[in-house]
Amino acid sequence: MLNNDEQRLKETALDWFDAHEGEYKRDLMRWVSIPSVSDDSAGVPGAPYGKGVADMFEEIAATAAGYGFVSTNHEGYAMSVYATEDDKRSDRDIAILSHADVVPAGPGWLSDPFEPYERDGYIVGRGVHDDKAMCVLAVFVMRFLRDQGICLNHALRLMYGGAEETGLHDMEHYVDAHGAPYRTLVTDCGFPVNYAQKGEIGFDCALPLPASIESISAGVAPNAVPGEAFMVWHGDAQAVAGLLASGTDEGGSFEVEPLSGGRARIKAIGRSGHGAVPQLALSALHVLASTLGSDAAAGVVDDETRAFFAGLDGWIVPPFGNGFGFAFEDEDTGKTTSNLGIASTEDGELRLTFDIRYAVTQNADDIMGVIERTVAAAGGRMLDHTVDAPYYVPKDSWEVTVLTEAYDDVTGIPAEPFSTGGGTHARVVPNSINFGPGFPEDPASIAALREAGVIAPQPTFVKNGGAHGANECMSVKDFRNAFPIFVIGLLRYDAALAERE
């Protein structure tokens, strides 16, 4: 439990946040209004990820300067913020690392994703939860420590990556060019501590399209479940509209538009979400393929096209690799997952981009072998693939123990360290551990945290609302109550690290 000094510090931190909440929301809304989608194809020297990320880094520097802090732009790949110039020269620092880039907005928004607004204690906008609310909160942690005259045993710096969502190359570059911080708390996950992350495989393949299909397109990023999918089909628009009128049992729906030349444009609507947990979303490609590949489509859709969609749907659901033959599960990280994130049409072929999150004890080469054989058997061809190794810190390590106990003591609601399919900068930054800012999402924890007033009820005015999905939102109350967890967790981590040096 918290000692007397820590209990007073918790209360002081909450009071301080309440007094500065308006500033926090103002800064956050300004940061979210910048469309900082990482785009290396638009990169130039000094801005390798394009204008959006460069503008975001300029805003970070301006915000830091406004609060009397100093910053360094690391060639446009990352940013560091320090309380003082002396801290910049320290080789024994603790970094709080977040990311300033966001995934593309995608479809399904009820408002402009880069014109954030507040309602019922929530702020809505692309990137507000992943990861800009934490980006700004880190600045306020630094402000609070300075205002309270609290000195750590190590220099503190805030770090912001510019390409976390597109492959972690930002911090890979930083570490290669400058070396890693002495220790790093990565704040792009959940409480209490994320100790293991699945490995990642991204691959592209191409399949020949049936003659009846002119084009298929879906998705905005490999690591997001497509919420909408589009197809131009050579067939009877009225007949297919009748087939699709009732939607799907899972909640999918369709819109059909007749086109010239005996064609129809079909829009399938699902529910977007994070590609690391595709089972929590509803892929629009699955909505499309499961319906047009079903027995019910016989007589409306020709046999070749139905067989094509039935095969494609087998690659999409269940989203655990069953259709390819690499389904796997282990104790630490659970089931391997598979997300078909992007589909496009080129030269009569359907180009597919998959995002695989594989269990820490599974072999990536074995997975790739199965994928290559399956794609070839379907008459397709492989285009490219990448592999990122899993991340793992022993669950009983001192870092995990210290930070988990800090979370438990501040909230009074114990939680277990966890694994995830998501990938964070901890994969590429040595001596790092994942700590917050999201609260546990299992039903028992949610109920206990809501009863204790730690987290807010789900918003009712937006659909979806999760990271990487449409109408992304964050609860100001949740981040208010995360604030003392970070303060006390950081102080305990700093002290425990000093004891071991």
What confidence tens digit (pLDDT) does each residue in 377-411 have? 999 999 999 999 999 999 999 999 999 999 999 99
Band of pLDDT at residue 119, cut at 50, 70 and 90: very high
Q: Angle at Cα 79 formed by Cα 74 and Cα 84, nearest 5°?
A: 105
| Residue 255 identity | E
**For residue 463, what pLDDT band results from cuts at 50, 70 and 90?**
confident
End residue of a domain, out of 388, 416, 435: 388
Residue 418 in this model has a pLDDT that exceeds 90: yes
Report angle CA 414, 419, 39 to the nearest 5 degrees.
125
- What is the reported pLDDT for 422? 84
| DSSP per residue, 373-389 | HHHHHTT-EEEEEEEE-
Please compute the mean of the pLDDT values over residues 170-179 and round it to a whole number. Answer: 98
Same domain, 364 and 435: no
Q: Is the peptide bond before 131 cis (omega within 30 degrees of 0)?
A: yes
109 and 167 part of one domain: yes
Q: Please give, one letter per residue, the 3-state secondary structure of 217-248.
A: EECCCCCEECCEEEEEEECCHHHHHHHHCCCC
- Measured in residues, the chain has a length of 501
Residues 438, 371: one domain? Answer: no
Residue pair 358/199 in contact by the 8 Å Cβ criterion: yes
CATH (domain of 55): 3.40.630.10
pLDDT of 449 reads: 97
Q: Which of 335, 362, 388 is where one domain is finished?
A: 388
Which stretches of 100-140 are assigned E, i.e. beta strand?
117-119, 122-124
- What's the CATH code of the domain at 375? 3.30.70.360
Give mean pLDDT, residues 478-490: 99
Indicate whether 375 and 234 sit together in one domain: yes
> Where is the domain boundary, 366, 388, 410?
388
Judgement on whether residues 444 and 324 belong to the same structural domain of the protein: no
What pTM value is reported for the model?
0.85
436 has a pLDDT exceeding 90? yes
Q: Report whether 16 contacts 478 (CB < 8 A).
A: no
What is the pLDDT averaged over residues 115-134?
A: 98
228 and 164 share one domain: no
Give CA–CA dist 77/16, Å, rounded. Answer: 33
Please state, in angstroms and rounded to a whole number, the distance separating the CA atoms of residues 322 and 336: 10
Q: How many domains does the chain have?
A: 2
Res 375 pLDDT > 90: yes
* Domain of residue 8, residue span: 4-198+391-499
Query: Do 52 and 171 fall into the same domain?
Result: yes
Helix (H) or strand (E) holding 95: strand 93-99
The predicted pLDDT at position 210 comes to 97
Separation between Cα atoms, residue 499 and residue 501, nearest integer Å? 6
Q: Reply yes or no on whether the pLDDT at 468 is more than 80.
A: yes
Q: Are residues 215 and 357 in the same domain?
A: yes
Q: Give pLDDT tens digits for 273-317.
A: 999 999 999 999 999 999 999 999 999 999 999 999 999 999 999
Q: Is the pLDDT of residue 465 over 90?
A: no
One domain, residues 68 and 192:
yes
* Band (62; pLDDT cuts 50, 70, 90): very high
Same domain, 104 and 206: no
Q: Is the pLDDT of residue 245 over 80?
A: yes
* pLDDT classification of 464: cutoffs 50, 70, 90: confident
**Are residues 192 and 253 located together in one domain of the fold?**
no
| Sole residue written with tokens 């080129």 | 346
- Mean pLDDT computed over 70-77: 98
- Residue % of the chain over a pLDDT of 90: 96
Residues 315 and 409 in one domain: no
For the record, the structure tokens of 154 come out as 């190590």
